[in-house]
């Protein structure tokens, strides 16, 4: 069967079906999914009984896996395969984590608008998040379309940002949330990455506004002016008309393109168990992610 798509938002996002993603994908199926991602940027797959290995295999169809901050901070993990990123409030022993735990610090950082691994080079391309256990309320994930955000900018702002670049730093969100317990050596292992504010998505050819909470400095600008300007751009990019809210169901797998969207988790009762697993691929030459 071929890929079927049902739009879920007026600007981006589609529900995907017609392809069995629990088994190895054919080259044709990979091309179909890449073409859909170039158009919609976010795909929602419902009712997917994926094992961890099946999720890894699905992600590997599109490129090498990205471990994000796991490459820097080695902590005890409850999942055996480090390529599965544990998006949960569950500690290494399998219990719901304390409210003040490092695990929940990561969860709170995930509630800020960001794109995965924008703080490294190469940055991330696609992420896939699979829902296993959900709380009784909250915990939705929101996505913002950076292509539509660019299109809606005033011409004056488009001209102003055309040549600007911003520094993205991994610990910026942690420090914002009060976690400053990092050694100089740890900070040196994750140097900032610098990205243009205006980018052209290689698959769709559309221009986009590449912002997010990891961006902390416009290169060549004073810090205070930089941060206020980046905050203004982020507020613009995350206006309601550019945002899709995903209400999770167990078995959902949501796939998004970090090069053209932002996302954030929403609040839930962290005393209730919530378990999702993420896989992410590194940005690779576009030949790997192009439709035929």
CATH number, domain of 8, equals 3.60.130.10
Domain presence at residue 104 = yes
Is residue 290 one of the residues assigned to a domain? Answer: no
Give the closest residue to 248 by CA, choosing from 110, 141, 107.
141
What are the residues whose beta carbons fall under 8 Å from the beta carbon of 273, sequence distance 6 or more? 88, 89, 90, 96, 133, 135
Pairing of strands 165-168, 275-282: unpaired
Q: Which of the 8 DSSP states describes residue 280?
A: E
H helices of the chain, in order, are 27-40, 52-60, 102-109, 146-151, 155-161, 172-176, 184-189, 223-237
Contact 98, 104 (CB under 8 A): yes
pLDDT (tens, 9 = 90+) of the chain, 292 residues, equals 699 999 999 999 999 999 999 999 999 999 999 999 999 999 999 999 999 999 999 999 999 998 766 555 666 778 878 889 999 999 989 999 999 888 888 889 999 999 999 999 989 999 999 999 999 999 999 999 999 999 999 999 999 999 999 999 988 888 888 877 777 777 777 889 999 999 999 999 999 999 999 999 999 999 999 999 999 999 999 999 999 999 999 999 999 999 999 999 999 999 999 999 999 999 875 544 544 3
Does some domain include residue 233?
yes
Looking at the domain assignment, is residue 62 inside a domain? yes
291 domain residue, yes or no: no
**Sheet of strand 165-168, all strands in order from the earlier edge strand to the far edge:** 193-196, 165-168, 215-218
What pLDDT was estimated at residue 292?
37
By residue count, the chain amounts to 292
For 18-63, the DSSP string reads SS-TTSPPPHHHHHHHHHHHHHHSEEEE-S----HHHHHHHHHTTS
292, part of any domain: no
What range defines the domain where residue 236 resides? 4-284
pTM: 0.94
- Domain count within the chain: 1
pLDDT for position 69:
66
With respect to residue 155, please indicate whether it lies within any of the assigned structural domains: yes
pLDDT of residue 75: 66
Inside any domain, residue 154 = yes
The pLDDT score that the predictor gives to residue 57 is 97
């Amino acid at each position: 069967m071929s890929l079927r798509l049902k739009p879920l938002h007026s600007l981006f996002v589609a529900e995907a079906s017609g392809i069995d993603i629990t088994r190895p994908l054919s080259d044709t199926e990979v091309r179909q999914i890449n073409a859909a991602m170039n158009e919609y940027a976010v795909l929602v797959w419902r009712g997917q009984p994926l094992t961890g290995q099946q999720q890894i295999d699905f992600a590997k169809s599109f490129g090498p896996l990205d471990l994000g901050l796991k490459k820097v901070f080695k902590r005890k993990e409850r999942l055996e395969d480090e390529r599965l990123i544990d998006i949960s409030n569950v500690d290494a022993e399998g219990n719901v984590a304390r409210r003040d735990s490092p695990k929940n610090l990561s969860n709170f950082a995930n509630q800020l608008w960001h794109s995965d691994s924008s703080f490294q080079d190469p940055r991330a391309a696609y992420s896939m998040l699979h829902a296993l256990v959900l709380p009784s309320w909250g915990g939705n994930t929101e996505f913002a379309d950076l292509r539509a955000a660019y299109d809606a900018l005033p011409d004056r702002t488009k001209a102003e940002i055309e040549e600007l670049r911003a520094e993205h730093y991994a610990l910026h969100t942690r420090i914002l949330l009060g976690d400053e317990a990092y050694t100089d050596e740890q900070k040196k292992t994750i140097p900032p990455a610098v990205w243009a504010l205006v980018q052209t998505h290689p698959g769709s050819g559309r221009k986009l506004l590449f912002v997010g909470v990891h961006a902390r400095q416009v290169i060549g600008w004073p810090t205070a002016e930089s941060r206020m300007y980046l905050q203004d751009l982020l507020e613009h990019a995350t206006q309601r008309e550019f945002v899709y809210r995903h209400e999770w169901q167990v078995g959902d797998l949501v796939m998004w393109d970090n090069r053209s969207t932002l996302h954030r988790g929403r609040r839930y009762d962290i005393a209730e168990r919530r378990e999702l697993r993420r896989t992410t691929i590194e940005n690779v030459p576009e030949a790997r992610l192009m439709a035929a």
